Structure 1
């Protein structure tokens, strides 16, 4: 059933994404993906989009950077483009001006400027150049993904599975939260929604993920087989989600330093390479 499957990354894309050729190592790419998805989440909330629409945009972003480099396309531009595109695909379209105003506000807010925020004037050149860039990036996303922008989300599956398993409603929100967190990494580009849904259920029922410290719920043996999920896939999803939460906790102080634009990324790469040369020369 097509609505239960997604376009997944190929082994070659996972092993050697385009960013690698531009000197972006796996650790830096992982941070950039996480921060970029966070921008999508924040933009979506500011635009008052449903979480499903935001999740759709986040997965499009993750797919895009398997066929394009972070060094070529700034995360601030692609995050805005996929958010705008997802709002159209889900029939909740936001205006170009609303999207650009949100991006403008976020730049001011995250710069921690002490000056009062002033929205751009209606006829400001900033708006017209931003609109052109947004439409260009939207077209790049569509072209590079081959116009395959359909996304099957695991939210409804997970809640349906939870009802079949007679799980208490107190765990439903934690399952939802876990699935939303998963979209900040590449897991939705590796596994189908059913495996993601079962992985989130398994973790939450153990008292972890999406709001740790919750109640533990006993599950019947082999319950995932009822939903056609292989034990190996379930194990990989669970281990990956647990590793993601541990990684976020250990790296949380580095995310604020991630550049939103390509120029900032070039400076970061240059500084890193210079540091490596200094260490090697000693």
Structure 2
């Protein structure tokens, strides 16, 4: 497994692969890897001749400096996991490589930004779409793989690629879950033993909401019930618990058609102490 840290090194490596006519898949990460990341690598390996992973803790997508400062870092262990998973190369740039002195450009998607994490984490989504666009341009992969736990991010990246005519296929991979069905996340490492027992409540509530909505229960009533259960379980705060379209994140209301409801997802973000957990679940599954 090769490790490259600069655009110059990256360009040289990619040129040799492209010259050989090999198709390339990319998995972008901020490190602190778990089985969900490795699932993306597995999917990329099945579709492509070569797989490159990136590890870059992107400062532009953190709206909270304390969150950035406390983000878990274990690069040596991450590299070990990627090598064991069969990754061909890892791009490991520093902040100055990605955002050199004088950098002043932001890639921002006007649509689908005013809700969910876009509303509760100012600047976060612009940071995501900016760094992903830069990496797609630098690497020029045939395919890029993203976990659907961050579903809003996944939709926004699809929109960037479509709107800017970037020649890459964006592949969404279903959420990987821990025992108890908690969505895998690097931030799960922050949870203490008591919080880990509480955290699976998010999936349990989403699962029940899905069942009740499919049975014809009132959307507003069921979501109100879900918020109550989450808080009573021990969560400190809920940023959102909503039903939105899988296609464009339009809010699903009481007057929505059955077809609209069936094409929606339940989205939730809630806090356990200083740890913010997010998840989503398709209504139709």
Normalised TM-score (structure 1) = 0.24
Q: Between the two structures, name the one with larger relative contact order (CA 8 Å, sep ≥ 6).
A: 1
Q: Determine which structure has the larger helix proportion and give its number.
A: 1
Normalised TM-score (structure 2) = 0.24
Q: Determine which structure has the larger strand proportion and give its number.
A: 2
